[in-house]
């Protein structure tokens, strides 16, 4: 991202969430605040989505990963999670519509410039900041997550759930494993949901072409994709750093879960992972 500017890919992800509410009626992922926080009118959001033939696949993937993460979070809270850390929050709205209220302390972690932008959008949309939410400004490539969270009042002894959506592909492997190592080392149980994509050379020609087009787009925005993972290698390393259970949904699994009547292929592409230490 450009120095001093909010993440443009975060805005794109928010646009996809808003468009899903309009074009699919929020069928997979319902977010009543998605359009409000975006700050664009319905017709503009609808028109831009319909004019871009590449957007539907990404829009549905973003809807599915968000639904998966929030379902997993709800289950974790019922098992005793008391804190949620949203890594790379962007314009995510969960903190402002959480059904758990004071029961779940929420920390939104993001680049300082993106958080200034988000505060402006919340104010413009008349969305109040709840008492259970805390902003934590951190640059993932430069700052220490542990220090930033501690300064914000995070309690490492409490069971914690982390969401990390739409961020991992933009980071170096060093930054990724530093963050996952921190999560795995928390003493009283932690869980994380994040997404990643298969290596480009593992994709079919059609999927590789689509991947390359999207890669060019994000690179032009100044936020290129940096890291991809092989699923089995990723699972092995997650277990090595301290996670005890790893659930990895590739395209066939995630489509089968949320679109059970759609034909399922063995296509490679985007994955959503849930990893827990307990």
Question: Is 23 within the bounds of a domain?
Answer: yes
Residue 172 domain flag: yes
Spell out the residues 6+ positions from residue 253 whose beta carbon is closer than 8 angstroms to its own.
none
pLDDT in tens, 223-248: 676 799 999 999 999 999 999 999 99
> Residue 253 sits in a domain of what CATH number?
3.40.50.150
**In this predicted model, what pLDDT tens digit does every residue of 3-46 receive, in sequence order?**
445 678 889 999 999 999 999 999 999 999 999 999 999 999 99
Task: In whole angstroms, give the CA distance from residue 166 to residue 216.
Answer: 16
Q: How many residues does the chain have?
A: 278
Q: Which residues are 248's β-sheet partners?
A: 273
Q: Find the domain containing 163 and state its range.
A: 8-276
How many whole angstroms separate alpha carbon 248 and alpha carbon 275? 8
Whole-number Å distance between alpha carbons of 220 and 40:
23
pLDDT at 222 over 70: no
Confidence (pLDDT) at 216:
61
Asked, for residue 144, whether it belongs to a domain, the answer is: yes
What is the Cα–Cα distance from 119 to 96, expressed in whole angstroms?
12
Residue 261 lies in a domain: yes
Q: Is 2 among the domain residues?
A: no
Per the structure, how many domains does the chain have? 1
Which H helix or E strand runs over 86?
strand 83-87
**CB-based contact 60:88 (threshold 8 Å):** no
């Amino acid at each position: 991202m450009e120095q001093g500017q909010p993440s443009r890919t975060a805005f794109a992800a928010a646009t996809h969430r808003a468009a899903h509410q309009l074009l699919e009626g929020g069928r997979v992922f319902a977010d009543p605040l998605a359009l409000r926080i975006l700050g664009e009118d319905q017709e503009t959001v609808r028109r831009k989505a319909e004019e871009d033939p590449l957007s539907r696949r990404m829009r549905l993937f973003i809807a599915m990963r968000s639904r998966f993460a929030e379902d997993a979070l709800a289950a974790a809270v019922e098992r005793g999670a008391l804190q949620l850390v949203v890594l790379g929050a962007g314009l995510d709205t969960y903190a402002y519509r959480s059904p758990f209220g004071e029961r779940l302390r929420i920390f939104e972690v993001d680049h300082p410039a993106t958080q200034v932008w988000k505060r402006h959008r919340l104010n413009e949309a008349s969305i109040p900041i709840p008492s259970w939410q805390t902003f934590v400004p951190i640059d993932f490539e430069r700052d220490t997550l542990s220090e930033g969270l501690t300064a914000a009042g995070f309690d490492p002894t409490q069971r914690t759930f982390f969401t990390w959506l739409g961020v991992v592909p933009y980071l170096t492997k060093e930054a990724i494993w530093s963050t996952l190592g921190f999560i795995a080392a928390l003493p009283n149980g932690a869980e994380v949901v994040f997404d990643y994509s298969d290596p480009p050379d593992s994709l079919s020609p059609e999927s590789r072409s689509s991947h390359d087009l999207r890669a060019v787009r994000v690179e032009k925005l100044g936020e290129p994709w940096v890291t991809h993972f092989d699923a089995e290698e990723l699972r092995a390393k997650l277990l090595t750093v301290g996670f005890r259970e790893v659930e990895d949904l590739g395209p066939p699994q995630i489509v089968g879960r949320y679109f059970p009547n759609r034909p399922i292929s063995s296509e490679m592409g985007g994955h959503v992972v849930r990893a827990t230490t307990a």
